[in-house]
């Protein structure tokens, strides 16, 4: 219900932004980027994981301008995937090295932009997004003899942000974006059956949290494509999850939950726009 309402808001935002003028001009941008980042995941007082991620991102942006008004509507579809390895450390469970992590994210946003001058654009936006992370220690044993298991995390959220761009010269421009990520809900799946087939897998619903992110961008126009270099920061803070029962051979043996946690990812990406 909530996600459906958010989609309706995006649509109305886009429609109102793209029908302000009678004569309209549009443009289309495709971006292809590679990225590298450092990620840290913490459950305060319990454990920590950190390592390097490498990935790729693709996006399509459509803008519809409304001359003679200095306004335009914007809609963007974006997706990214990354892969890397992280090291685990815990005072209770010991250490594990070279854990495989896989992540993907998909987003749709729309906004109503304003050309403050011939060189400066400002675009507030909102939308919907989904983030997936797979942290797989299945079949691994820690330094203290604890068995690992696969963990899957899904976040459903709405980005609420502002992006700007400023043309320094005809070839060079700089930009910045800041964003708050409203957390609708999440689901953490812990595959305890990796430890022993008798155990049930646990799915914990997460309802409280938030995220934020920011980026600084430099672009250079060439005859064929625009070259992009960008630094970024992505942050999530999630509260304790709901509790889910744990069964062994269909007999209730306890309850499990996902503790409050936070993740921080920062890095660089580079690519082309055409």
Q: Supply the mean pLDDT for the chain.
A: 92
Instruction: Give pLDDT tens digits for 214-261.
Output: 999 999 999 899 999 999 999 999 999 999 999 999 999 999 999 999
Instruction: Give pLDDT tens digits for 94-106.
Output: 999 999 999 999 9
How many angstroms separate the CA atoms of 13 and 20, rounded? 12
pTM of the model: 0.89
Instruction: Give pLDDT tens digits for 149-183.
Output: 999 999 999 999 999 999 999 999 999 999 999 99
Q: Where is 195: in which H helix or E strand?
A: none
The reported pLDDT for the residue numbered 25 is 82
Residue for token pair 């490498």: 54
* Cα-based torsion angle of the residue sequence 207, 45, 178, 154 in order, rounded to the nearest 10 degrees: -40
Q: Where residue 12 falls among pLDDT bands split at 50, 70, 90?
A: very low
The reported pLDDT for the residue numbered 11 is 47
Q: Where residue 18 falls among pLDDT bands split at 50, 70, 90?
A: very low
How many angstroms separate the CA atoms of 77 and 79, rounded? 7
Among candidate residues 130, 105, 134, the one with its CA nearest the CA of residue 194: 134
Among candidate residues 15, 8, 96, the one with its CA nearest the CA of residue 49: 96
Map out the domains of the chain with their CATH numbers: 2-273 (2.40.128.100)
CB atoms within 10 A of CB 27: 10
Strands (E), 137-190: 150-167, 172-190
Two structure tokens written together for 13? 């935002």
Q: Where is 15: in which H helix or E strand?
A: helix 2-17
CB atoms within 10 A of CB 222: 10
Instruction: Give pLDDT tens digits for 106-133.
Output: 999 999 999 999 899 999 999 999 999 9
- The mean pLDDT value for 64-76 works out to 90
């Amino acid at each position: 219900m909530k996600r459906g309402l958010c989609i309706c808001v995006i649509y109305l935002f886009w429609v109102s932004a793209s029908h302000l003028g009678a004569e309209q001009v549009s443009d289309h941008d495709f971006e292809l980027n590679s990225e590298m980042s450092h990620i840290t995941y913490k459950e305060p007082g319990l454990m920590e994981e950190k390592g390097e991620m490498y990935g790729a991102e693709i996006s399509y942006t459509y803008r519809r301008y409304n001359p003679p008004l200095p306004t335009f509507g914007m809609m963007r579809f974006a997706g990214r995937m990354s892969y890397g390895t992280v090291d685990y450390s815990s005072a209770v469970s010991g250490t594990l090295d070279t854990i495989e992590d896989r992540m993907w994210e998909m987003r749709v946003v729309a906004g109503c932009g304003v050309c403050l001058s011939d060189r400066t654009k400002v675009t507030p936006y909102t939308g919907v997004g989904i983030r997936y992370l797979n942290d797989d220690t299945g079949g691994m044993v820690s330094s203290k003899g604890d068995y690992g298991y696969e963990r899957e995390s899904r976040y459903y959220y709405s980005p609420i942000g502002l992006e700007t761009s400023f043309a320094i010269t005809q070839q060079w421009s700089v930009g910045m974006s800041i964003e708050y990520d409203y957390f609708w809900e999440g689901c953490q799946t812990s595959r305890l059956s990796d430890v022993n087939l008798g155990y049930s897998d646990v799915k914990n619903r997460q309802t409280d949290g938030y995220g934020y992110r920011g980026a600084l961008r430099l672009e250079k126009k060439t005859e064929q494509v625009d070259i992009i270099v960008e630094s970024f920061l992505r942050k999530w803070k999630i509260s304790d999850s709901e509790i889910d029962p744990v069964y062994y051979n269909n007999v209730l043996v306890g309850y499990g939950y996902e503790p409050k946690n936070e993740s921080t990812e920062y890095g660089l990406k580079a690519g082309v726009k055409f």
